[in-house]
């Protein structure tokens, strides 16, 4: 497929000097994601999902194998990705608003005219904040926010610069079911509109099936991709779909695979 945006070619990665001992966090990962594709990764805790994200963005260089994104081999951090890390990692010396503006201070072309267009950018950030239910918290510091609020702010930071590739590492983990479903739809709409690439790590199978085109199931450490499921549910989807049988069937199928990983070991 010449259209593939993200391509993993038999990639293995381990931290520190473990690779030398043949110990990897993720092993023999090969996959391709076409431009604008939305994939989800599920798998047991510690299987290497976050590691996969770090590899994709170039934060970690693979011990073995080759990763290409947008046609170029990944050799260092890319500059067109947005990432919400598993921990909120907001900078404690910046207010929520300032935290969210951060990518615009770094990434071109926003960086170039950041000073000039600052007001416009602030408006954009405030709108984003409002959409995740944080209206009125722009001037609070991160440690004045609750856990879930921090997580939502972190999602805003990942989105603000409209990245070509969006990576979300369990972005809704600290949210209640209703807020979570609301954010699903916000994300879905943004994606439908802008057609960027998304990689979503989640433990919520309904979330994965509802949002993604393809769900990958990873095995226990060392993480390999043991199952790949194309989600052929029609789009546009709305929350009603989660009550359909087709949907629940896929969820159950995935659940079964994850279950068998556990018992298999």
Ligand X SMILES: Nc1ncnc2c1ncn2[C@@H]1O[C@H](COP(=O)(O)OP(=O)(O)OP(=O)(O)O)[C@@H](O)[C@H]1O
Residues within the interface to another protein (CB under 8 A): 16-17, 54, 57, 59, 77-83, 85, 87, 89, 91-94, 102-103, 105-107, 141, 143, 161, 167
Q: Which does 59 bind (CB under 5 to 8 A by kind): Mg ion, another protein, ligand X, none?
A: another protein
Residue 206 contacts residue 10 (beta carbons within 8 Å): no
156 contributes a contact to its own copies by CB under 8 A: no
86 contributes a contact to Mg ion by CB under 5 A: yes
Q: How far apart are CA 83 and CA 117, in angstroms?
A: 23
Binds Mg ion (CB under 5 A): choice among 123, 146, 192, 195: 146
Question: Footprint of Mg ion on residues 18-77 (CB under 5 A)?
Answer: 50
**Residue whose CB is less far from Mg ion, 121 or 137:** 137
Q: Which does 123 bind (CB under 5 to 8 A by kind): Mg ion, ligand X, another protein, none?
A: none
91 contributes a contact to its own copies by CB under 8 A: no
Long-range contacts (CB closer than 8 Å, 24 or more residues apart) made by 87-91? 88/142, 88/147, 88/150, 88/151, 88/153, 88/154, 89/154, 90/142, 90/150, 90/153, 90/154, 90/157, 91/142
Binds its own copies (CB under 8 A): choice among 14, 37, 44, 82: 44
176 contributes a contact to its own copies by CB under 8 A: yes
**Residue whose CB is less far from ligand X, 95 or 104:** 95
Minimum separation from the CB atom of position 42 to ligand X (A): 9
178 contributes a contact to ligand X by CB under 6 A: no
**Residue whose CB is less far from another protein, 143 or 243:** 143
Minimum separation from the CB atom of position 254 to its own copies (A): 10
Say how many residues touch Mg ion, by CB under 5 A: 4
Residues near ligand X, by CB under 6 A = 15-16, 25, 45-51, 86, 143-149, 174, 221
Give the footprint of its own copies on this chain (CB under 8 A): 15-16, 42-46, 48-50, 86-87, 133, 144-149, 152, 169-170, 173-180, 203, 205, 255, 258-259, 262
């Amino acid at each position: 497929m010449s259209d593939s945006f993200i391509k993993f070619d038999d990639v293995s990665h381990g931290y520190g000097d473990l690779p030398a001992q043949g110990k990897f966090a993720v092993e023999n990962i090969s996959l391709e994601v076409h431009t604008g594709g939305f994939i989800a990764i599920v798998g047991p805790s510690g299987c290497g999902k976050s590691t996969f994200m770090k590899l994709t963005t170039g934060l970690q260089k693979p011990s073995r194998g080759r990763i290409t994104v947008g046609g170029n081999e990944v050799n260092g951090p890319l500059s067109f990705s947005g990432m919400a890390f598993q921990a909120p990692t907001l900078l404690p010396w910046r207010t929520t608003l300032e935290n969210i503006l951060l990518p615009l201070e770094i990434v071109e072309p926003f960086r170039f005219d950041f000073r000039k267009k600052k007001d416009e950018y602030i408006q954009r950030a405030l709108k984003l904040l409002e959409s995740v239910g944080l209206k009125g918290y722009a001037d609070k510091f991160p440690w004045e926010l609750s856990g879930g609020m921090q997580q939502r702010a972190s999602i805003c930071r990942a989105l603000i610069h409209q990245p070509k590739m969006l990576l979300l590492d369990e972005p809704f983990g600290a949210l209640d079911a209703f807020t979570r479903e609301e954010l699903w739809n916000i994300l879905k709409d943004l994606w439908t509109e802008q057609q960027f690439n998304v990689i979503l790590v989640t433990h919520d199978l309904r979330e994965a099936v509802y949002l993604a085109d393809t769900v990958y199931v990873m095995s226990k450490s060392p993480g390999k991709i043991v199952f790949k499921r194309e989600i052929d549910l029609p789009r546009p989807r709305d929350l009603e779909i989660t009550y359909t049988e087709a949907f629940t069937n896929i969820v159950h199928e995935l659940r079964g695979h994850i279950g068998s990983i556990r018992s298999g070991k």
